[in-house]
A and B are shown apart, each in its own frame.
Chain A
Amino acid sequence: MADHLDAPGLMSPNMDARIDVTDIYAFQAPDDPTRAVLILNVNPLAPSLATAFNPAAIYELKIDTNGDAVADIAYRVRFSDPALGPQTAMVHRATGAAAAGANDGGPIIISGAPVDLATTSTPTITESGGYKFYAGMRSDPFFFDLAAFLGLAPHAHPLDFTNPGSDFFIDKNVFSMVLSATKSQLLGPNPSVGYWARCLVLVDGVWTQKDRMGRPAINTVFNHGADKNTFNNISPTEDRPLFLDKFIAVLEGAPFSRNAATASTLASVLLPDILTYDYSNPAGFLNGRQLQNDVIDAELQLLTGSGTISDFVGPHTDYLSVFPYVGTPH
């Protein structure tokens, strides 16, 4: 539930797990400190809800290089129609004003990359022009005691977890897109960047954003009802005008109960919903996000002000030390 099933139109007919973002990651490659890695995961509970990437969608990894919450670099991934044969991926790289738009433009940096849906331990990797790219099914790297959060576990209420916890995601899969290059090639010359991802589909001939994600669990924890879809449909530049006051209200209320000044400060940190990353610093979350970072504990502690709150589950043991870093699927 970092962003799994956060309602990109959960009601039929809009439900499409293929474009449901579950998590994003940005980190220094553990096997090469000169390289950075971007990951976009979709399709929760894969392959039970969907067995292919959506060939009619744009999967977009957005990079803001100057702190204005507008993309200056965009990696746009398109997939072939699985009805026509094994799926392949094409990656475009748009820069400048073209990166901010809603389209699949930009020079092609990867083409014909095979989509890897095998559960074998050898992933199919495509390399071109200094980029490494992977698309396919992987073990879901996210970890969280979902049952306790939902209030289904004995002696647990939301934000009052039981030790030891139970990791709902330990045996789940997702569809991953993993892209790596040298840090400046991938993210631009300024090491302080912002990263978010989104999925777009054509609606009445117009590319329309259906889901997006920056930091984990933001839409899940803060937004009620129809606001979840609104949040998924807007751009980061709209976050503060539309949602800052709502986030402050959530933080001031139970169970967080933060005072007005603290709530305002926290809400301003959380919005716009962008994963900030300084690639000159190898540290993890809140600086980017590594697979093994316990983002739920970090956010629980940030939101509650408690230094000890935890869901008592930890990182999976199947992360790889080499590209594509995300573990072999179950």
Chain B
Amino acid sequence: MQKTSRRNFLKYAGVGSAIAAGATIPAVEQLFAERTGPIAIRAIGGVPAAPLPSYASYVLDGYIDPVRKTGTLTRTVLAGHPDAVSAIALPGLSQTVQVTDVRVMGAQILVRGNIVDRSQLSTGEQSDVEITIDRKGGLVWTRSGANEMKLALQP
């Protein structure tokens, strides 16, 4: 399993804080303000990652419930780079994550879950998933395969 260590987690938090002045960030932060029920999440990033041009968009979509520590998130690859993303999901590349734990740590939310449907796993891929949501930075960090994915949180 590709664990997010505490050191990495803090690194993400640092990165998020450093870019907290982005224009869309207040809107993103507003999404989480004073929320006690389920929170809708949508985050998007280009794949492959820079420096190669993005051919498609990696989209994390769903909800988490910090109180019940549950939720469902879907990881989908849509045709088109993030600035021109389509609704066309590339078949066989979607995964559904059942959330098993949600921990709020200041501006960060650490989400753990599992890909329950093993048929959605590629060869050698682990079923457990860790996702870090940086509310101030408007970023979401996760792993796919061996790659660390940095996604922009959508307001």
B85 within 8 A of A: yes
- Identify which of A27-35, A131-139, A152-160 touches chain B: A152-160
**B51 to A253, Cβ gap below 8 A?**
yes
Chain A positions 223 through 250: 1 when the CB is less than 8 Å from some CB of chain B, otherwise 0:
1111011000000000000000000001
Docked Cα-Cα span, A146 to B101, in Å, equals 31
- Identify which of A3-11, A71-79, A99-107 touches chain B: A3-11
Docked Cα-Cα span, A220 to B52, in Å, equals 9
Distance (whole angstroms) from the CB of A20 to the closest CB of chain B = 9
B34 within 8 A of A: no
**Given A154-B145, A154-B146, A168-B92, does the pair A5, B122 have CB atoms closer than 8 Å?**
no
A1 within 8 A of B: yes
Which residues of A139-158 have CB atoms within 8 Å of chain B's CB atoms?
146-158
Q: Which residues of A contact B92 (CB under 8 A)?
A: 147, 168
Our pick among A48, A220, A229 for the contact of B55 (Cβ within 8 Å) is A220
Interface size on A, residues (CB 8 A): 42
Question: Which DSSP category, helix, strand, loop or mixed, fits chain B's interface?
Answer: loop
A255 within 8 A of B: yes
**A7 to B145, Cβ gap below 8 A?**
no
Docked Cα-Cα span, A7 to B92, in Å, equals 20
**A153 to B55, Cβ gap below 8 A?**
no
Which residues of B101-155 have CB atoms within 8 Å of chain A's CB atoms?
122-126, 144-147, 149
**B53 to A223, Cβ gap below 8 A?**
yes
A254 within 8 A of B: yes
**B146 to A157, Cβ gap below 8 A?**
yes
Chain A positions 7 through 26: 1 when the CB is less than 8 Å from some CB of chain B, otherwise 0:
10111100100000000000
B80 within 8 A of A: yes
Distance (whole angstroms) from the CB of A226 to the closest CB of chain B = 8
Chain B positions 43 through 85: 1 when the CB is less than 8 Å from some CB of chain A, otherwise 0:
0000111011111101000000000000000000101110111
Chain B contacts to A: CB under 8 angstroms: 47-49, 51-56, 58, 77, 79-81, 83-88, 90-93, 122-126, 144-147, 149
**Closest 8 A-B residue pairs measured CB to CB?**
A10-B80, A5-B79, A158-B48, A151-B147, A150-B47, A154-B124, A224-B53, A10-B86
